[in-house]
A and B are shown apart, each in its own frame.
Chain A
Amino acid sequence: MRPLPVADDVRIRDELMAGSEECLGEVYDRYSPAVYGLALQMTRDRGAAEDITQEVFVDLWQRPERFDPHRAPLGGWLSMIARRRGIDWVRRRRTQASVIVAAAGGEPEHRVEDAVLTSTTNRQVRRAVADLPATHRQAVMLAYYDGLTYREVALALNIPEGTAKWRLRNALHRIGEQLTAEGIHQD
């Protein structure tokens, strides 16, 4: 288990609750690439990604008490909110059928390759995703970036639901094991 809370996250939450403008600027500078990049990967629309980024940070500023540093690190929490909003956007924009057809027909890995912020860790994560068997990779991409449930993934890939669940679990384990083998500590 990751040790929580991260001390800096407790300080940040306290300062945001006290209304420190500088602290929000600091949080934005640190996490906006992750939030924006994730939103852009999901929506493939710069305007929508900017709107989601704005919503995520304005929400944090308005209700900092909703972030509990004992339950998640701030970066992960913001990414989770960004992802939820991205999923909402994707679901609003497309009918479920068109998502499934489009997602199943396309090869989603290029979206990960597009990312330009190339820290060593990010490169290794992208390589670990690319190294997955194609069937696993598709399942992860459909669930993670297109916001499909595992049942929808099963439908999109024409596989049993149990197989979709297993592929998602197995894919994440494979990525994690490869990263650990490469010396990336996941904490």
Chain B
Amino acid sequence: MIDNGHIGDLAGPYAVGACSPDEEMAVAEHVSSCPACATEIDTLSRTAELIGEAAARPPSPGLRSRVLAAAFTARPGRSEVRRLSDIYRTQVAELDRLLADLPPTQWQNPCQTHSSVRAMLLHLTENDRQVAATAGVGARAGASDVRASWRTQALAISETVGRAGGDLMERDVRLAGRRAVRRPMREALIQRGFETWIHAEDVRVVLELPPQRPDGRQIADIVGFALPLLPAAMAAAGNGRAIRLVLTGDGGRTDVVGDGDVVAEISLPAERFCRLLAGRLTPDATGAEIGGDTVAARGFLTVAATMGCD
């Protein structure tokens, strides 16, 4: 291929990518030590680029949002990472504030499905540990009590993730829960915020305080996190028929869950759906309005109620 010690006419095909792979490698190797050929390749490549640019044509306006949404789904941007990290930190601070108000005697009170508040917090600390390990947050030795141990680890997760940016958010983590499911860190962080909120609600029950709803963005995150997990859970329960789910209020949306023809429609507030997912509301207690195949709809709500972390 070498012509008088140079690449000769191969410069043209090389500049437009029309060489064989072997020739391409040979040319690249040659130009790395031949300034004359490198200059010609550079000039011809620039001309080839101009030919490409001369074809420029604006895409349809709708493509922009589609492309950016696909990109940010594949790798969350830093403002999204900060937002999720902030939501988690806010829930950690709220649960910690409630625990600070909890009289020592009430730490042994039963707490929802757990034998005591202390057992609940040990369970939460354990569920957080998968995310901590993936984030590179080591076990904190010497934490004096269960509350300090949980809080130190949780705040370290929030800080590390908030600083790390999108790359860490792409890493897979085993989610907490009965099913062994691995999902990207972004979703695991949403789950941590979800579980921390739910356990704060559990402590509010112990303290006889009224429930508190998260903001609409967090509800939307939880719904967006849980919906893709539901079809597999429905199939595992032998209940794969498609349901139209209408979630109302803050964080609400409408989706068809499952494949095939829709056999039933279920409508309920998004916040109550989140509490159902956490196992804090029974299907009947959600007040969901059901249309169509009642058996299929109830089956769906029953499966949804098993998606929690307890």
In the complex where A37-B56, A172-B47, A186-B47 touch, is A167 in contact with B67 (Cβ < 8 A)? no
- What's the Cα separation between A61 and B55 when bound, in Å? 24
Contact flags A143-187 to B (C-beta < 8 A → 1, else 0) = 110011111010000000010111111111101100100001011
Interface residues of A in 5-56 (CB under 8 A from B): 18-21, 24-25, 28-29, 32-34, 36-38, 40-41, 49-50, 53-54
15 pairs from A and B in contact (CB 8 Å cutoff): A21-B77, A25-B64, A32-B58, A36-B58, A36-B63, A58-B70, A58-B74, A61-B74, A115-B54, A115-B56, A125-B54, A144-B48, A153-B18, A168-B12, A169-B9
Q: Looking at the assembled complex, report how far the CB atom of B24 sits from the nearest CB atom of chain A, in whole angstroms.
A: 10
Tell whether A117 is near chain B: CB-to-CB under 8 Å: yes
In the complex where A58-B70, A61-B75 touch, is A172 in contact with B15 (Cβ < 8 A)? yes
Within 8 Å CB of B44, what residues of A?
Answer: 169, 172-173, 176
Task: Say which size band chain B's interface belongs to.
Answer: 35 or more
Partner of A76, one of B45, B70, B166: B45
B80 adjacent to A21 (CB under 8 Å): yes
Tell whether A135 is near chain B: CB-to-CB under 8 Å: no
B79 adjacent to A21 (CB under 8 Å): yes
A143 adjacent to B16 (CB under 8 Å): yes
A54 adjacent to B12 (CB under 8 Å): no
Within 8 Å CB of B80, what residues of A?
Answer: 21
Interface residues of B in 62-90 (CB under 8 A from A): 63-64, 66-68, 70-72, 74-81
- What's the Cα separation between A87 and B17 when bound, in Å? 10
In the complex where A38-B52, A148-B18 touch, is A33 in contact with B72 (Cβ < 8 A)? no
Tell whether B152 is near chain A: CB-to-CB under 8 Å: no
In the complex where A140-B16, A166-B9, A168-B16 touch, is A122 in contact with B53 (Cβ < 8 A)? yes
Partner of B58, one of A33, A79, A84, A186: A33
B54 adjacent to A122 (CB under 8 Å): yes
- What's the Cα separation between A33 and B165 when bound, in Å? 29
B13 adjacent to A143 (CB under 8 Å): yes
Within 8 Å CB of A28, what residues of B?
Answer: 64, 67-68
Within 8 Å CB of B68, what residues of A?
Answer: 21, 24-25, 28, 57
